[in-house]
Structures are given as structure tokens and as C-alpha cells.
Amino acid sequence: MDAQIERVREILRGTTSIAVLTGAGVSAESGIATFRDPDGLWAKFSPRELASMDGFLANPERVREWYAYRKNVATTAQPNAGHIALAALEQQTTGSFSLITQNVDRLHQRAGSRNVLEVHGNLIENRCNDCETIRTDDVLICPDCSGAMRPNVVWFGEELPQDVFAAAEQAAMTCDVMIVAGTSAEVYPAAGLPYTTKRYGGIVVEVNPNRTELSSEAHYVLTGTSAHILPHLVGDVQ
């Protein structure tokens, strides 16, 4: 096994406080497109039109249709070895474990992860634009206040769910190790969490096939896909 992977494995075995930050790359091997890779969603679709309030107000049907398509992709996809390894790591950890995800596909939960903090919402639920009621059916008009229902995700320029992000920041401040997997680490405020961990004295481990904004700051950079690398960090994989 690669010496760096072996070293990180030892560190994880000796710690009782782990945080993980995941991004779209963790679901790539489940067949879900990332955003900023050359074949990613933002190469084909406009974030301004599809992932902003202005885009929704201009053309709600188009935005809802795009999210319905992505919800279908997510619900028919299966968790991969990376998701499963992170669920196993949570089981093995005797102290605190937080899985902070920017992903909206729910694959971590379907793999068995329990303490999942969805900082960018999810594709499964809809939320009323006015009264913020959350529903899992597909009504277009809120039955409570007649506001427009929209996907329960966080678009550009929108605040992240406050309680969820506060818990993520707390985990970043208090963990001994943060694993950062499958994210370009470009979208704030989530991208700031590994720097918080570092500032508070924690170790930052990046898992990614490509270098990112974070690579030069991480203590360990494990180069490879998450479905390949993450299983090596837990359990008995040699």
C-alpha cells in the first residue's frame, strides 16, 4: 500500500474525532456528474439560469424540470465503494464523527452514514419560497401559504441552512482530522471548513484524482478516486 495512505490509516486509527467534507467527485463513480470537471454540469448548463433565484423567477418550469431530471438520476444511482467506506469509518470511530456533504443526492445516507450535514440541501425535498415549508411531494404551489415551491437546495447567493452550517463549523473546529474528498474546494463558505480545521490544529487529508485550491494547504494529499482510496483508509483493505 502507498506509504501516505498507510500513514493516514494509522492516524485515523489513533483518533476519536473525525470530520469529512465531501463534494460531487465522491458520487462520480456512481454515475452522477460533477460540476466543474471538463464533462461536468457547468460545462453544459448555465448556473445563472438553473442554480440561482433569478433563474428560477425567470423560468421556474425549466429549473424544476432540470431538478426533476437530476432527482431521477440520483434516486436510480447506487452508492459506491467510497460512500460505503465512509459509512464504515463512522461505525468504527469511537468518538465524534461528522460527514459534511455539499452533495444533494442522498447517497451517503443510502450507504448507511448517520451523522450527515447537508450544507447545500438535497434533491429529494422541495421548499416553499415564502414560508419555507418543506415537502417531499411535487406540488408546485405551497398548500400552506400559496407560495412557489422550489427544490430544497442552496443556490448561488443564498445563505446555507444556518443550523446545519453551524454544526459543520463546530465539527471543523473540534476534529483532529478532516478528510476532504471529491471537491474542487472552490465554493464558499463550505470550502473554508478545511482551513478552519487547520487553524484549530487539526490534520487535513485531501482525496482527489486532481489537484485543487486546497492541495497546497492539506497535510496529506492522496491522489486517486474516492472509490479507490477511501476503502484503503478503513477496514482491512490492503
182 binds ligand BJW (CB under 6 A): yes
24: burial class by Cβ within 10 Å (0-12, 13-18, 19+)?
Answer: buried
Chain-centre distance for alpha carbon 112: 15
Binding residue for ligand BJW, selected from 10, 138, 156, 166, defined by CB under 6 A: 156
Say which DSSP state 141 is in. Answer: B
Alpha helices (H) along the chain: 3-13, 41-44, 47-50, 53-58, 60-76, 81-92, 107-111, 162-174, 193-199, 226-233
Rounded least distance, CB 48 to ligand BJW, Å: 10
Answer yes or no whether residue 206 interacts with ligand BJW by CB under 6 A.
no
Check: CB of residue 86 under 8 Å from CB of residue 111: yes
Sole window of 87-95, 135-143, 180-188, 192-200 interacting with ligand BJW (rule: CB under 6 A): 180-188
Q: Measured from the CB of residue 103, what is the shortest distance to ligand BJW in angstroms?
A: 6
In the complex with ligand BJW, the residue whose CB is nearer, 177 or 180, is: 180
- Selected range binding ligand BJW among 21-29, 90-98, 137-145, 169-177, rule: CB under 6 A: 21-29
Candidate segments 55-63, 139-147, 169-177, 202-210, binder of ligand BJW by CB under 6 A? 202-210
Query: Are 62 and 212 contacting, i.e. CB atoms less than 8 angstroms apart?
Result: no
Q: Three-state DSSP class for 163?
A: helix
223: enclosing H helix or E strand: strand 220-223
Residue tagged active-site, from 83, 108, 120, 232: 120
What are the residues binding ligand BJW (CB under 6 A)?
A: 23-26, 28-29, 34-37, 40, 51, 102, 104, 120, 153-159, 182-184, 186-189, 208-210, 212, 225-226
